[in-house]
Copies of this chain bind each other. A is one copy, B any other.
Amino acid sequence: MSSTFGTLFRVTTFGESHCPGVGAVVDGCPPRLALTAEDIQRQLDRRRPGQSAMTTDRQEGDRVAILSGVENGHTLGTPIALLVPNRDQRPGDYAEMAAVPRPSHADFTYQTKYGIRAASGGGRSSARETIGRVAAGAIAEKILAERFGIQVVAWVSAVGEVVADGVDMAAIDRQTVDGTPVRCPDPAAAPAMTAAIQAARDDQDSLGGMVSCVCRNVPAGLGEPVFDKLEALLAHAMLSIPATKGFEIGSGFAGTRLRGSLHNDPFVQKGDRLGTLSNHSGGIQGGISNGEAIHFRVAFKPPATIGRAQTTADFAGRQVALAAKGRHDPCVVPRAVPIVEAMAALVLLDAVLRQAARCMGRLQP
């Protein structure tokens, strides 16, 4: 179990789906930052299910409490403990699934790895675990924004077969993203995505999709080659989000089909800095940010828990038919948007601190 992420700005999350609470401890947060629970709550609300017909209507209404590390509205530089109580601490809906590992879920692997697993819900593999990430990420992105003007914006770029390619990465903001329930700012694609999700729901089925993310105003020089290249850290962060199956940066998999003469990003003077004309690199060269916008995409599989009956085996190997009860998200990507943003912010702030260490610029905050 590795529940800590980051080298200097370190986040440790805790909590199963039905224990007393979930949360995180953020260690290494710089001191003297203005911070309130409301700064964190904003992103938690975007992560919450039940925001629209797109997602499950369990009303979680999670409220975060800051337990430590903040006094009189400012960070002390000490660990910030964040807690969100679980309301449904012992529901029965999942009980009859105990003997049958849900296909493509974590029931089987948790049982194998630990020899025990949470009696109900998904335990640590539950989406509720991401609450701690989003809360911690909200702190990171506040520092990034206030100190460096960095903007991190994610959106839904695909739902099933529906792909959004009419999004302007230079202009997009969170308000625009939240303009549709499906969090896709492409006006042509959004209604089609909504329809696709509704159709899957009507079929008691689920749908995968993609989340894209852009990070603007990132200073050049972030990333720690050779093993902690910035894209390697982003890939690690994104593939640690539940239900993810892929990560690509800049030109990504499509770029493998290009020749170097087309793929290379020529340098050109941009104001007082050297920039690039194109950005197939996705803002990172040699594992280090180059000052251009960082952009990447994350693949999410269709949720494993579906209402449709599936033929599978129980833990004893006997063939059974399994149909999930209760309500489940037919598509997680709209809710994954703030999670992707959070993980990106955690990576960037940690990279900022590591580069600042190297530069030994100042020893007093």
Which B residues are CB-close (under 8 A) to A267?
101, 103, 108, 312-314
Which B residues are CB-close (under 8 A) to A25?
3, 12, 14, 25
In the complex, are the beta carbons of B354 and A362 less than 8 A apart?
no
- With A104-B280, A266-B312, A299-B253 known to touch, is A118 a contact of B27 (CB < 8 Å)? no
In the complex, are the beta carbons of B264 and A225 less than 8 A apart?
no
Which B residues are CB-close (under 8 A) to A198?
none
In the complex, are the beta carbons of B235 and A358 less than 8 A apart?
no
- With A27-B1, A71-B119, A253-B248 known to touch, is A364 a contact of B112 (CB < 8 Å)? yes
In the complex, are the beta carbons of B364 and A357 less than 8 A apart?
no
- Which of the residues B10, B71, B246 comes within 8 Å of A247, measured between beta carbons? B246
Which B residues are CB-close (under 8 A) to A75?
116
Annotate A82-100 by CB proximity to B: 1 below 8 A, 0 otherwise. 0100000000000000000
Segment of A53-61, A165-173, A206-214 in the binding face: A206-214
Complex: chain B residue closest to A13, CB-CB: B226
- With A108-B267, A357-B353 known to touch, is A78 a contact of B207 (CB < 8 Å)? no
> Roughly how many angstroms separate A315 CA and B244 CA in the complex, as a whole number?
39
In the complex, are the beta carbons of A248 and B359 less than 8 A apart?
no
> Roughly how many angstroms separate A19 CA and B253 CA in the complex, as a whole number?
34
Which B residues are CB-close (under 8 A) to A35?
none
- Closest Cβ of chain B to A300, distance in Å, is 6
Complex: chain B residue closest to A109, CB-CB: B288
In the complex, are the beta carbons of B290 and A109 less than 8 A apart?
yes
- Closest Cβ of chain B to A90, distance in Å, is 10
> Roughly how many angstroms separate A19 CA and B256 CA in the complex, as a whole number?
31
In the complex, are the beta carbons of A28 and B1 less than 8 A apart?
yes
Segment of A43-51, A179-187, A216-224 in the binding face: A216-224
> Roughly how many angstroms separate A302 CA and B10 CA in the complex, as a whole number?
34
Complex interface residues of chain A between 1 and 22 (CB less than 8 A to chain B): 1-5, 7-8, 10, 12-16, 19-22
Which B residues are CB-close (under 8 A) to A161?
257
* A134 CB–B CB distance under 8 Å: no
- With A240-B232, A356-B356 known to touch, is A68 a contact of B108 (CB < 8 Å)? no
Which B residues are CB-close (under 8 A) to A13?
79, 226
Annotate A296-335 by CB proximity to B: 1 below 8 A, 0 otherwise. 0001111111101011111101010000000000000000
With most chain B CB atoms within 10 A of its CB, the pick from A15, A284, A302 is: A302
